[in-house]
């Protein structure tokens, strides 16, 4: 049992100990189904406070050889799956949090070497005869372990995109980090030692030209969540159950915190829902996510049509957006659509995949964006928003009268 190789289950136990716990172990049934396949390379990106780290900790607790989690999972959904015990605590797991490594480095250019040394030191304790001192690259070490022992690895990387989102990290350092990920996951050799790769962060994998820089990862995002939609964030049924338990007005909760459309699911931000249930106050909890300081520079970028689009969405409209051009790199934003796409990934906008439109998902986000607009001194635009909203409400009132008259 180590810090990064075969960790214990204490991090997931904290989630289970919490006042509000919502069972997301159905995700494990999916990851079990793709173990040791080409579909077992996953990048699952969501906004802050959508409990991404919680699912990473859950996967580590379930798969890691470094703990006995049978009792921990026995009362949860995954325990009903036929292959529950087959995979429980059966694998060598490497679990790393890039944010933690960055915080414990003097400089960003030390992150990859710090990860490599930390993991290699623990691997040598487990496989001392397999990894001589001349082995200094992590992919090489994993390959050697597989060759000598037949043991494959489950690799879980939390906050994979911290170095990409940090505007102070140079492109040279970012490229070195991307090359580190490529060496770990891309090509024929990694298929020999990877049982499962699970990356999570806010952004999908950075694009180079028209494709992902690590293009063998299956992407599950705020634009296309596919089958993993219900496992990150709270679903409508889960929120209804919490409203019944805590005696909250579901329709009001829906107005304030709903609005993310992911593969047919209405998904809520868990941070906001849990805060409401435990504190009882309908207000914006979004500013506590740490992403607010990113928004003002974004919406103030000098791109044609950006301010108009923001105000239209604040007024209740949906705007068309081409999400394909965004490189999943804030430093490479080139137009209005890139800004809007980044705001979707950050959770400040919702996305309708069928219509290809973006919108303000709920009242909480509307208040946050309105505050950002006011702080950006768009006085004339705020006036336009207020007038547009009055017009929208008047139109809705007329439509309601017409429906009543027809009846």
Residue 4 lies inside a defined structural domain of this protein: no
On whether both 137 and 241 belong to a single domain, the answer is: no
Domain stop point among 171, 196, 220: 220
Give the pLDDT of residue 388.
58
On whether both 50 and 155 belong to a single domain, the answer is: yes
Give the pLDDT of residue 213.
73
DSSP letter at 89 equals T
On whether both 140 and 242 belong to a single domain, the answer is: no
Q: Which residue has the tokens 């017409």?
A: 402
- Tally of domains in the chain: 3
Give the residue-averaged pLDDT of 79-107.
96
Pairwise CA distance, residues 125 & 393, whole Å:
67
On whether both 178 and 61 belong to a single domain, the answer is: yes
For residue 403, pLDDT over 80 is answered with no
> pLDDT confidence of 261, banded at 50, 70, 90?
very high
On whether both 185 and 332 belong to a single domain, the answer is: no
pLDDT tens digit string along 266-321? 999 999 999 999 999 999 988 765 556 788 888 888 899 999 999 999 999 999 99
Residue 52 lies inside a defined structural domain of this protein: yes
On whether both 269 and 188 belong to a single domain, the answer is: no
> pLDDT confidence of 406, banded at 50, 70, 90?
very low
**320-359 burial by CB neighbour count: b if 16+ within 10 A, else e?**
ebebeebbbbbeebebbbbbbbbbbbbbbbbbeeeeebbb
For residue 112, pLDDT over 60 is answered with yes
> pLDDT confidence of 405, banded at 50, 70, 90?
very low
CB atoms within 10 A of CB 30: 13
On whether both 42 and 61 belong to a single domain, the answer is: yes
Return the percentage of the chain with pLDDT > 90, whole number. 78
On whether both 200 and 318 belong to a single domain, the answer is: no
Structural domain containing residue 130? 10-220
For residue 383, pLDDT over 70 is answered with no
For residue 400, pLDDT over 60 is answered with no
pLDDT tens digit string along 154-192? 999 999 999 999 888 999 999 999 999 999 999 999 999
On whether both 267 and 391 belong to a single domain, the answer is: no
On whether both 257 and 295 belong to a single domain, the answer is: no
Residue 226 lies inside a defined structural domain of this protein: no
**193-210 burial by CB neighbour count: b if 16+ within 10 A, else e?**
bbbbbbbbbbbbbbbeee
Strand duo 211-212 + 357-359: pairing:
unpaired
pLDDT tens digit string along 204-222? 998 875 566 788 899 999 9
Give the residue-averaged pLDDT of 134-153.
95
Residue 225 lies inside a defined structural domain of this protein: no
Give the pLDDT of residue 389.
60
Phi and psi for 136 in degrees, rounded to 5? -120, -5
């Amino acid at each position: 049992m180590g810090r990064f190789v075969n960790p214990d289950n204490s991090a997931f136990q904290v989630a289970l100990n919490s006042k509000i716990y919502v069972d997301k172990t159905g995700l494990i049934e999916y990851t079990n189904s793709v173990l040791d396949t080409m579909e077992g390379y996953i990048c699952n990106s969501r906004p802050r406070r959508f409990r991404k780290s919680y699912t990473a900790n859950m996967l580590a607790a379930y798969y890691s050889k470094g703990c006995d989690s049978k009792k921990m999972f026995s009362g949860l959904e995954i325990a009903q799956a036929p292959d529950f015990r087959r995979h429980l605590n059966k694998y060598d797991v490497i679990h790393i949090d890039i944010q933690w490594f960055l915080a414990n480095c003097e400089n960003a250019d030390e992150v990859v070497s710090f990860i490599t040394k930390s993991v290699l030191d623990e691997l040598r304790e487990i496989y001392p005869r397999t990894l001589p001192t001349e082995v200094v690259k992590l992919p090489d070490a994993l390959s050697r372990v597989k060759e000598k022992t037949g043991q494959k690895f489950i690799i879980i990387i939390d906050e994979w995109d911290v170095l990409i989102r940090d505007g102070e990290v140079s492109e040279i350092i970012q490229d070195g980090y991307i090359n580190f990920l490529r060496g770990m996951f891309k090509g024929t050799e990694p298929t020999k030692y990877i049982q499962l790769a699970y990356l999570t962060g806010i952004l999908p994998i950075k694009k180079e030209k028209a494709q992902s820089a690590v293009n063998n990862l299956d992407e599950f995002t705020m634009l296309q969540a596919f089958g993993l939609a219900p496992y990150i964030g709270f679903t409508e049924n889960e929120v209804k159950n919490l409203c019944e338990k805590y005696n909250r007005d579901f329709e009001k909760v829906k107005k304030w915190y709903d609005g993310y459309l992911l593969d047919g699911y209405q998904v809520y931000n868990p941070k906001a829902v849990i805060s409401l249930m435990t504190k009882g106050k309908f207000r914006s909890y979004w500013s506590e996510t740490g992403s607010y300081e990113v928004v003002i520079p974004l919406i103030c970028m000098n791109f044609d049509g950006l301010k108009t689009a923001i105000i239209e969405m604040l007024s209740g409209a949906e705007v068309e957006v081409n999400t394909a051009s965004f490189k999943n790199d804030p430093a490479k934003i080139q137009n209005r659509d890139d800004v809007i796409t980044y705001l979707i990934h950050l959770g400040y906008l919702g996305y309708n995949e069928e219509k290809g439109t973006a919108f303000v998902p709920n009242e909480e986000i509307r208040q946050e964006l309105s505050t950002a607009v006011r702080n950006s001194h768009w006085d004339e635009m705020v006036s336009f928003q207020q007038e547009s909203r009055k017009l929208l409400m008047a139109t809705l009132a007329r439509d309601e009268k017409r429906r009543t008259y027809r009846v």
